[in-house]
């Protein structure tokens, strides 16, 4: 049996260091309209106090490389969640990159073989990859996959939109991201 291809090792620290912080990323938005949506979503979002307390007490740094571009609706919805979490936890450090900036990174995180953003890659304090998230919560990704399977992605997207409306506080996203932060900050298995 042939061996699977071996992907080149990535220098996650260099990739992280090449990214922009949130302020620089938002200032460089391609579309003023999308930037305004991101700012509004960010301002409207608050974290549960227990989540904020957990993030504020992280035992060690967690680095996140976020592949995000402001034109995407899921980016507008989910990047503000990640940013709010980073603001609550000074040890949660996020840098934003584009697909074109690091195509070798993006190709590793395709969704069912297709391009979809955002993608958040969680790294330990030593820049070891510990998990990834995106472009939407697991339940929504499942709906899209079911829509593809039955040939009705439009109906699946409507269901995803309805889920988003029901979860305006983005609790499902916070929960999934919090799990990955916890893994990356782990001191033991």
- Which domains does the chain carry? 12-135+170-184 (3.40.30.10)
What SS3 class is residue 137?
Answer: coil
Q: What pTM, to 2 d.p., does this model score?
A: 0.94
**Which tens digit of pLDDT belongs to each residue from 25-78?**
999 999 999 999 999 999 999 999 999 999 999 999 999 999 999 999 999 999
**Which tens digit of pLDDT belongs to each residue from 142-178?**
999 999 999 999 999 999 999 999 999 999 999 999 9
CA dist list (Å): 20 to 28, 29, 95, 102, 117? 10, 12, 5, 13, 17
Residues 45, 168: contact at Cβ < 8 Å? Answer: no
């Amino acid at each position: 049996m042939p061996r699977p291809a071996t992907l080149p090792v990535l220098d996650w620290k260099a990739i992280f260091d090449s990214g922009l912080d949130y302020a620089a990323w938002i200032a460089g938005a391609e579309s003023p309209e999308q930037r305004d949506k991101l700012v509004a979503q960010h301002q409207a979002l608050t974290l549960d106090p227990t989540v904020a307390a957990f993030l504020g007490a992280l035992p060690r740094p967690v680095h996140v490389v976020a592949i995000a571009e402001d034109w995407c609706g899921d980016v507008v919805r989910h990047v503000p969640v990640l940013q709010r979490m980073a603001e609550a936890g000074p040890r949660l450090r996020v840098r934003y990159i584009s697909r074109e900036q690091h195509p070798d990174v993006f190709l590793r995180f395709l969704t069912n073989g297709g391009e979809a953003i955002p993608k958040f890659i969680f790294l330990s304090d030593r820049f070891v990859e510990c998990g990834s998230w995106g472009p939407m919560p697991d339940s929504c990704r499942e709906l899209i996959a079911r829509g593809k399977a039955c040939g009705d992605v439009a109906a699946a997207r409507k269901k995803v939109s309805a889920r988003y409306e029901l979860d305006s506080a983005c609790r499902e996203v916070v929960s999934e991201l919090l799990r990955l932060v916890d893994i990356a900050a782990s001191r033991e298995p």
